[in-house]
């Protein structure tokens, strides 16, 4: 078997470029003792991957030059030397941007339950994005009925789930997204109370003050300091800031990043700000899957996938994340 892959051709500096990646092909030997070979049908495209591509240490190891770019994957077992993982079974894994993945003894893969929810959702709303929204919002944000939850990149994979989970928990929900189509989706289809088009609002503090007239109780942020700073004075007493991601900062050098000036609000409004690494909640994932699945099935949690075709599309899809080109969970389909 031949395995085609997208590998890192150059360490990324500043905004990623398509030329930072290249496609190669390697032999995939048949599975050895206990091994399982998976053909990836969908692979994810994640802004958080940017931190591993510059060659610097993050909370996960950097991707060495020539290595496969990491991502979530979902696919089917195509060759198996392991009775627990029969050929044909759908599994989710983290094999990255490549056609095939090898699991020793079933490690690193999980079975996808059969049912009406399509396999791709298991690396989206039921994958790391949905789990990040779930634990970030419920464990750190802790929204209460009647409170106001503000969510950034609200039409993205994490943000769209976070806003809907806030709503399910009785909070009023305001999303920030780039463009009118995304904002319409939030209010007309996902039930957000209001949406702010970041591309049409020169003064974000004024826009948030307008849409959240009583202030913000929970701010679930995926953007970074340039957005957090203007929101700080708008936080209500005992407000909580959930630091989920920093998409606007990932491509900036340390000196280029904006700092926080409005930190006095932490004292005057008794605020708390906390970040999360979703994998810290791994022991609780099954509880979250049960609840998220229930919400999808009863129609309260909707999701959108933005799918490109083929390995060749992946570098441009990744670059596009930082230009707001994705609308929902960005995926590449490798098997049609």
Ligand X SMILES: NC(=O)c1ccc[n+]([C@@H]2O[C@H](COP(=O)([O-])OP(=O)(O)OC[C@H]3O[C@@H](n4cnc5c(N)ncnc54)[C@H](OP(=O)(O)O)[C@@H]3O)[C@@H](O)[C@H]2O)c1
In the shown chain, the binding pattern of residues 306 to 335 toward ligand X, with x for contact by CB under 6 A and - for none, equals ---------------xx-x-x---------
CA 303 – CA 165 distance, rounded (Å): 12
CB of 305 to ligand X, least distance (A): 10
By C-beta, is 117 or 276 nearer to ligand X? Answer: 276
Single out the residue of 28, 98, 132, 173 in contact with ligand X (rule: CB under 6 A): 132
Phi, psi (degrees; rounded to nearest 5) at 267: -85, -55
* 239 contacts: CB under 8 Å, gap ≥ 6: 215, 216, 217, 218, 219, 269, 271, 272
In the shown chain, the binding pattern of residues 209 to 248 toward ligand X, with x for contact by CB under 6 A and - for none, equals -------------xx--------------------xxxxx
DSSP assignment of 79-97, as one string?
A: EES-TTS-TT-EEEE---S
Q: Is 278 in the site for ligand X (CB under 6 A)?
A: yes
Indicate the pairing of strand 90-93 with strand 110-111. antiparallel
CB of 223 to ligand X, least distance (A): 5
Single out the residue of 3, 21, 28, 46 in contact with ligand X (rule: CB under 6 A): 46
Q: With contact defined as beta carbons under 8 Å apart, do 228 and 205 qualify?
A: no
Single out the residue of 127, 130, 159, 239 in contact with ligand X (rule: CB under 6 A): 159
CB of 121 to ligand X, least distance (A): 14
Single out the residue of 16, 31, 47, 127 in contact with ligand X (rule: CB under 6 A): 47
By C-beta, is 141 or 159 nearer to ligand X? Answer: 159
Q: Which of helix, strand or coil describes residue 314?
A: helix
Phi, psi (degrees; rounded to nearest 5) at 134: -60, -55
Only one of the segments 9-17, 111-119, 151-159, 209-217 lies at the binding site for ligand X (rule: CB under 6 A); that segment is 151-159
By C-beta, is 77 or 331 nearer to ligand X? Answer: 331
The footprint of ligand X on this chain (CB under 6 A) covers a number of residues equal to: 30
By C-beta, is 46 or 217 nearer to ligand X? Answer: 46
CA 248 – CA 159 distance, rounded (Å): 14
Residues of span 165-204 touching ligand X by CB under 6 A: 177-178, 182, 198
Q: Which of helix, strand or coil describes residue 265?
A: helix
DSSP assignment of 162-192, as one string?
A: HHHHHHHTT-EEEEEESSHHHHHIIIIIS--
By C-beta, is 98 or 246 nearer to ligand X? Answer: 246
**The tokens 């463009």 sit on which residue?**
179
CB of 266 to ligand X, least distance (A): 21
Single out the residue of 48, 70, 101, 141 in contact with ligand X (rule: CB under 6 A): 48
Nearest residue to 155 (alpha-carbon basis) of 136, 172, 137, 177: 177
Alpha carbon of residue 203 to chain centroid: 26
CB of 178 to ligand X, least distance (A): 2
Single out the residue of 8, 72, 109, 158 in contact with ligand X (rule: CB under 6 A): 158
User: What token pair was written down for 58?
Assistant: 């993050």
Nearest residue to 177 (alpha-carbon basis) of 306, 158, 165: 158
Residues of span 72-131 touching ligand X by CB under 6 A: 128-129
Q: Contact positions toward ligand X, by CB under 6 A?
A: 46-48, 128-129, 132, 153, 155-159, 177-178, 182, 198, 222-223, 244-248, 276-278, 321-322, 324, 326
């Amino acid at each position: 078997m031949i395995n085609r892959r997208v590998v890192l051709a150059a360490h990324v500096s500043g905004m990623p470029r398509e030329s930072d990646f290249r496609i190669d092909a390697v032999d995939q030997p048949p599975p050895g003792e206990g091994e399982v070979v998976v053909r990836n049908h969908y692979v994810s495209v994640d802004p958080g991957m940017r931190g591993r591509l510059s060659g610097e240490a993050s909370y996960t190891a950097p991707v060495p030059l020539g290595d496969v770019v990491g991502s979530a994957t979902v696919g089917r077992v195509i060759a198996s030397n392991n009775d627990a993982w029969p050929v044909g079974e759908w599994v989710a894994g983290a094999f990255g941007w490549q056609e095939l993945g090898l699991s020793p003894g079933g490690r690193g893969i999980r079975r996808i339950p059969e049912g009406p929810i399509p396999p791709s959702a298991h690396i989206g709303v039921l994958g790391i994005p949905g789990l990040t929204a779930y634990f970030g919002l419920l464990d750190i944000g802790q929204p209460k009925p009647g409170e106001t939850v503000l969510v950034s990149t609200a039409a993205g994979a994490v943000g769209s789930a976070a806003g809907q989970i806030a709503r399910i928990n009785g909070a009023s929900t305001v999303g920030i997204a780039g463009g009118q189509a995304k904002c319409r989706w939030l209010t007309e289809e996902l039930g957000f109370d209001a949406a702010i088009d970041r591309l049409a609002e020169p003064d974000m503090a004024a826009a948030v003050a307008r849409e959240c007239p009583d202030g913000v109780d929970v701010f679930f942020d995926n953007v970074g300091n340039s957005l957090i700073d203007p929101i700080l004075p708008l936080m209500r007493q005992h407000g909580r800031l959930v630091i989920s991601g920093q998409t606007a900062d990932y491509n900036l050098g340390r000196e280029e990043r904006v700092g926080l000036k409005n930190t006095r609000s932490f004292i005057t409004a008794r605020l708390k700000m906390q970040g999360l690494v979703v994998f810290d909640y791994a022991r609780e994932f099954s509880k979250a899957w049960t609840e998220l699945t229930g919400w999808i099935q009863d129609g309260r949690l909707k999701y959108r996938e933005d799918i490109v075709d083929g390995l060749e599309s992946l570098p441009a899809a990744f670059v596009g994340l930082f230009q707001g080109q994705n609308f929902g969970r960005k995926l590449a389909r490798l098997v049609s």
